[in-house]
Structure 1
Amino acid sequence: MLIVAMMGMMLGLACVLALASPWPWLAPMVIGALAVVAFLYRRPGWGLLGLVVLVPLEGLFKELAFSPAKFLGASLIGILLMQLLLRQLPEGRARSNLWPLLLLFLLWVGLSFLFSSNHPASLGNLRELLIGMTLFGIVLLVGRDVPLLPLCRLLVISVAATCLIALFSARHQVQGRAVGLLQDANYFALLITVAMPLAVLLAMRARHWLTRLLWLGLGVVLLAGMTRTDSRSGLVVLLLALLVGLWHHRARLARIRPRHLGFIMLGAALLVPLGLMSVPDDYVERIKSLSILRSGVNAHQDASLGRRASYLLVGGEMIREDPVFGGGPGTFALRYATTGYAKAFSDSSDSLDIYRRAHNTYLEIFAEMGIPAGLLFLALLLMGWRNFERARRAWLDRGERELADLVVHLGLAFFSMTLFLLFLSVPNHKLLWLLLGLSWVLRQQAESGGPAEVRSA
């Protein structure tokens, strides 16, 4: 009753403030927002599903000071903190074998902030990192209540929808490269590489041929979106994830009989030429440009590869200058702007174009936060990989092949994310911390036998 009374008082106060503000039309929305909060209090797992759906759609709300994702995240954090204080969550939910490494990493990041060469820039970078990390805590607390197949479906549908938008709308392309609802083609390619293993899983798990055709069609849409991003790194990561997935399913490949080979060859004869014809010529040329790496990077032949080489040089200088604490969180772009590389590789006359991040999460952490922080971050990701592997092994030992496949494909999404960190600076990416938290949740469920929610998923 006390909570109901407090929520009623908050509702009345919020409505009065909205009516007295220059935006009185917000008053009815307060009631809707409170209804959402009340629903999330009873079903916080739905809030996590909503955050997953909104990750590819964040560009729709970039002009809003308080976007739906921020409202949903803030509400969910407040609700979970209240439930923890009232002891309404089962005991042990927040435990994880990842906490020691994560706390040590945060401790070193804090020390790097104290010794930073630019505290305002470091403070903004640290704030973004902590916002991304909140997904880790949320997953630990409510991840066991979230059905995993619906989570996969929502993420695939959300990313595929942005692919369709980018394919048919020139507004969502930058210099001919599809960016979806984001601002960078490589960030968009990252989402596609994470969603692709999940689309393959859904196609394999489909019980009806129409449903399987739907997921296969969405997989084709994801591939089409990848070709329009012109992302070479995205293609490399996608192929590596495909090879790992084929290795996991090698036992199923052994079931192929000679009578099936004719159908396989017919499908390949139809699909391979069609796929090659649908790939843009610019993308083919960008892929061919990777061949120059055998003879070293030549900035005159490929400015993009030359720019990435310059990031390595600048990052190496920062590591040598302060290998313990680095230059401070968020200072790589400031350091790069002072070098001659910034103007030499600038794509436009905009002065902000010289402030470039390292486009390599690992390099950026080593350079900005020091070698100890970089090693702790690597250990954190390796522990996440180990959690997925232990969960897979536990389900296979119990004969739960479908659950093992689910763990493997979520692990492949995490594998794709960690590989893509070599080509992007996204230590705060929500999906990274969501999948890292899921690695422990899945391992704990597998080693304990798994609750009914996982089995029904």
Structure 2
Amino acid sequence: MPWRSGASGASGRPVGWVAGPAGVEGWLAGLVRVLACATVFAAPLEGYLLQVHGHLAKAPSALLVLAWAVLRARQRRAPEPHPAHVVLVALAVVLLASWAVHAGGPFATGYAVRWLPFLLITVVLIDVVSREAPLRAVLVATVAGAVVAAVGALAGLVAEGQTRAAGPLEDPNDLAYFLVAALPLVVALRHRVPTAVAAVVLAAGAAATFSRGGALALTAAVAWLLARRAVPLRALAGGVAALAVLGVAAVLFAGPELDRAVREKTHVAGTNVDTRELRWQAAARMVAEHPVLGVGPGGFREGYPAASNNAEIDEQTPVAHNMYLEVAAELGVPGFALFAALLVLTAATGERVRRTTDDPLPIVAVQASLIAVVVASTFLSQQYYLPLWSLVAVVAAADLRLRRASDVACAPRDQ
């Protein structure tokens, strides 16, 4: 019984009623569902939230962890084990060991504190999405947050005369990362008009960032969706036509600004190629010189001037602009091996789920999104943003749901 105590009054509720254990747990489960969706929704809106309050961006995930911990404590239930947990725990051990060795560095503690919440929230999301939060609801929330970010970026582009859309994030390339990671997920929405509108807004926002890495990532994701027949060619052609119309409108109404943006991006692109090559070489040197535990969390920024022989006088503490090289440089070969193992495990698990589930479309969309993340991260340091970790969690959760359903189907029935 969800409620207990006393005789019924005129309203039909027990006199002096109080919430029983089932009622409290049901309320907590609902709260956990809402907070899981809020966490992925708010991720691309970090800049807007920080403008309101310095800690507001962390509030949804912090509240999610707290509500989840209370719910599981009341249920006396541990998270259902999954191979991803083993990799995440091992990665946390390597991270802490690397941090302990390099704790004196100026960035070590700050970056260790950035790493650990992502590992924790991945564990929590795996458990929540496998039990309380419907997978499709989490995907819808992810897309909705990215759409809001894209609208904000496009509005800022028009209202403030920016040359590249950035919106809630400082770097247009980071915005492109969020948008192209969310765009493949629209195919799981299954509502034609909202899906079409969301896809066009996300694509337009990504195009307005002028991110070449984002364009490559989106191309790879769309290729996967086409290969899996998740997107009809007619729908793709319609989307391209809509973007072409928007492009023509931009040329007609903002031709000079668009020309200036293209020229600036061309100039910046040439510089980016040179600087990224320098940073990738520096990261490779760090891996070679510190293969066991790396240079520590945030150590790339600290050690870059020495590793590059002061190649960039005006930029002394940059990021590597390559997630894989940066992880390898900072956490060493063991840390990189675990990080890569997590990606491989997620890819293999996603493919197994796709082949065995009765409804493969959502997982195909997640696979395409993961492909976009993997490609975009070749040019960006994105281990400190949620899309990678939430996709890992969604795939593992889908696997646990499928296993549970299979166990129920195979269990002998009581006579």
TM-score range, shorter chain: 0.7 to 0.9
Which of 279, 290, 306 is 1:311 aligned to?
279
Aligned to 2:42: 54
| Counterpart Cα distance in 2 of 1:335 and 1:364 | 12
1:86 is displaced (CA, Å) by: 3.3
Aligned to 1:320: 288
Q: Which runs of 5+ in 2 are unaligned?
A: 1-24, 252-257, 409-415
1:222 paired with 2:174, answer: no
1:58 is displaced (CA, Å) by: 1.5
1:418 is displaced (CA, Å) by: 2.2
Aligned to 1:447: 403
Q: Counterparts in 2 of 1:237-252, with a 5 A limit?
A: 237-249=217-229
One-letter code of the match for 1:72? P
Identity of aligned residues (%): 24
| Counterpart Cα distance in 1 of 2:312 and 2:147 | 35
- Does the 8 A contact of 2:163 with 2:261 survive in 1? no
Aligned to 1:432: 388
1:432 is displaced (CA, Å) by: 1.7
1:133 paired with 2:126, answer: no
Aligned to 2:245: 274
Partner of 1:340, secondary structure, is: coil
Partner of 1:86, secondary structure, is: helix
Which of 71, 75, 84 is 1:98 aligned to?
84
Which of 94, 97, 100 is 1:108 aligned to?
94
One-letter code of the match for 2:196? L
1:97 is displaced (CA, Å) by: 0.9
1:188 paired with 2:188, answer: no
- Does the 8 A contact of 1:230 with 1:286 survive in 2? no
Partner of 1:342, secondary structure, is: coil
Q: Taking structure 1 as the reference length, what is the TM-score of the superposition?
A: 0.73
| Counterpart Cα distance in 2 of 1:377 and 1:122 | 19
Q: Which runs of 5+ in 1 are unaligned?
A: 1-36, 207-211, 290-298, 347-352, 453-457
| Counterpart Cα distance in 1 of 2:174 and 2:371 | 16
Partner of 1:43, secondary structure, is: helix
One-letter code of the match for 1:98? A
One-letter code of the match for 1:187? D
Which of 307, 311, 332 is 1:370 aligned to?
332
- Does the 8 A contact of 1:172 with 1:181 survive in 2? no
| Counterpart Cα distance in 1 of 2:394 and 2:128 | 10
Q: Counterparts in 2 of 1:383-422, with a 5 A limit?
A: 383-395=345-357, 400=358, 403-422=359-378
Query: Relative to structure 1, is the Cα distance of residues 53 and 39 closer, same or farther in structure 2, using a 3 angstrom cutoff?
Result: farther
Aligned to 2:312: 342
| Counterpart Cα distance in 2 of 1:120 and 1:74 | 25
1:211-256: per-residue Cα shift (whole Å, max 9, x none)?
x123212211111111110100000000011001100018x86xx9
| Counterpart Cα distance in 2 of 1:122 and 1:65 | 25
1:335-390: per-residue Cα shift (whole Å, max 9, x none)?
224542222xx4xxxxxx43101011110111111112111110111001111111
Partner of 1:425, secondary structure, is: coil
Q: Taking structure 2 as the reference length, what is the TM-score of the superposition?
A: 0.80
Which of 160, 165, 168 is 2:155 aligned to?
168
1:152 is displaced (CA, Å) by: 2.2
One-letter code of the match for 1:406? P
Which of 319, 327, 330 is 1:357 aligned to?
319
- Does the 8 A contact of 2:310 with 2:316 survive in 1? no
- Does the 8 A contact of 1:319 with 1:367 survive in 2? yes
One-letter code of the match for 2:209? T
One-letter code of the match for 2:66? G
Query: Relative to structure 1, is the Cα distance of residues 68 and 450 closer, same or farther in structure 2, using a 3 angstrom cutoff?
Result: farther
